[in-house]
Amino acid sequence: MTCLDPWVLLLLLLLPVLLLNRTTNFYFKICFYCVLCVVFSVVACVVCFLRHGGRTVRNMSIIKRFVRIFKYFYGLQLEMKGAEKLHEDKPCVIISNHQSILDMMGLMEILPRNCIQIAKRELLYTGPVGLIMYLGGVIFINRKRTSTAMSAMEEVGNILVQKNLKVWIYPEGTRNGSYDLLPFKKGAFYLAVQAQVPIIPVVYSSFSSFYQPEKKIFTSGKIKVEVLDPIKTEGMTVDDIPKLLETCHSLMRETFFRISDKLNEKGTNGSTSQPVQ
């Protein structure tokens, strides 16, 4: 027995109490999510290096396998509709709503082959997590400098068709936990029009039925995912971008409301959920 043993014992006795308390349970789950990301990233980095020797989008299939385990720890169920639309072997721009760091679980559940993602540059500096993103071929953009972000995305546009790639972009440009979509940034639409490839919108239902950071709620739950029909951009020019953006935004917003559980006035999950049609 070492002198630390009473403390370990105390912690073990306190653990059920901490896990039963809503606030500590919330922080525990978030911390555990970060720990999972870091630990799995370290392991995945080694596997990626051994398998492909460096940065390539093919590493995403390895990353996907690891991240798909996360949902079991959190009791999350994902219900997909129209996922086959993403797997056609053609270049496209995929846009989806972005609610939280938890999105990554939903992303990896449905991510097609040869699909790169656009992320904010700051994520590159998150140690092993940044390294695994780099190895997976994620394109990092500096949101504070529109011109460099635009040219990084333009480069993606140049190779999209040539290398038969897909690109996944969060057009809201930031996480948004409110029960609505933010106005869209324009980069994804410039990219699609520039490369003359279709846009495929993907909508995730609101997490607020099981995850509300402001109320420290994080329970098990279900995420509905709906892949909408591709929107063609062939023949479109820069002048058509505002209308294209508006069409995508309203289609996604409509779908978001339809598949999300409505909150009641207390901000908790009510019984007004609508089934996916």
Ligand X SMILES: CCCCCCCCCCCCCC(=O)OC[C@@H](O)COP(=O)(O)O
Element (H or E) spanning 218, and its range?
strand 217-218
> Which of 67, 117, 86 lies closest to 202 in space, CA to CA?
86
Rounded Cα–Cα distance for residues 162 and 158 (Å): 7
Nearer to ligand 3VV, 83 or 263 (CB): 83
Spell out, one character per residue from 19 to 38, where the chain touches ligand X: x when CB under 6 A holds, - when not: ---------------x--xx
Alpha helices in the chain (DSSP H): 5-20, 22-52, 60-67, 70-74, 103-110, 128-135, 146-160, 187-195, 241-259
Tokens of 181: 């979509």
Q: Which residue in 138, 165, 197, 227 binds ligand 3VV (CB under 6 A)? A: 138
Instruction: Based on the shown chain and the rule CB under 6 A, indicate whether residue 42 belongs to the binding site for ligand X.
Output: no
Nearer to ligand 3VV, 40 or 207 (CB): 40
Contact 186, 241 (CB under 8 A): yes
Instruction: Based on the shown chain and the rule CB under 6 A, indicate whether residue 104 belongs to the binding site for ligand X.
Output: yes
Q: Strand, coil or helix: what is 204?
A: strand
Greatest alpha-carbon pair distance for the chain in Å reads: 75
Q: Which residue in 48, 118, 160, 165 binds ligand 3VV (CB under 6 A)? A: 118
The partner in contact with residue 136, picked from ligand X, ligand 3VV, none with C-beta cut-offs of 5 to 8 angstroms by kind, is ligand 3VV
| Distance from chain centroid for Cα 186 | 19
Q: To the nearest whole angstrom, how small is the minimum distance from the Cβ of residue 150 to ligand 3VV?
A: 4
Nearer to ligand X, 123 or 251 (CB): 123
Instruction: Based on the shown chain and the rule CB under 6 A, indicate whether residue 135 belongs to the binding site for ligand 3VV.
Output: no
Site for ligand 3VV in 93-112 (CB under 6 A): 98, 104
Spell out, one character per residue from 196 to 215, where the chain touches ligand X: x when CB under 6 A holds, - when not: --------------------
Instruction: Based on the shown chain and the rule CB under 6 A, indicate whether residue 48 belongs to the binding site for ligand 3VV.
Output: no
Q: Strand, coil or helix: what is 102?
A: coil
Contact 231, 198 (CB under 8 A): yes
For residue 254, give every residue at least 6 positions away whose Cβ sits within 8 Å of its Cβ, in sequence order, or none.
Answer: none
Angle between helices 22-52 and 60-67 (to 10 degrees): 150
Q: Which residue in 126, 196, 219, 273 binds ligand X (CB under 6 A)? A: 126
* Residues forming the site for ligand X (CB under 6 A): 34, 37-38, 98, 101, 103-104, 120, 123, 126-127, 129, 174-175
* Residues forming the site for ligand 3VV (CB under 6 A): 37, 40-41, 44, 63, 66-67, 98, 104, 117-120, 123, 129, 132-133, 136, 138, 141, 143, 146, 149-150, 153-154, 169-171, 173-174, 185-188, 190
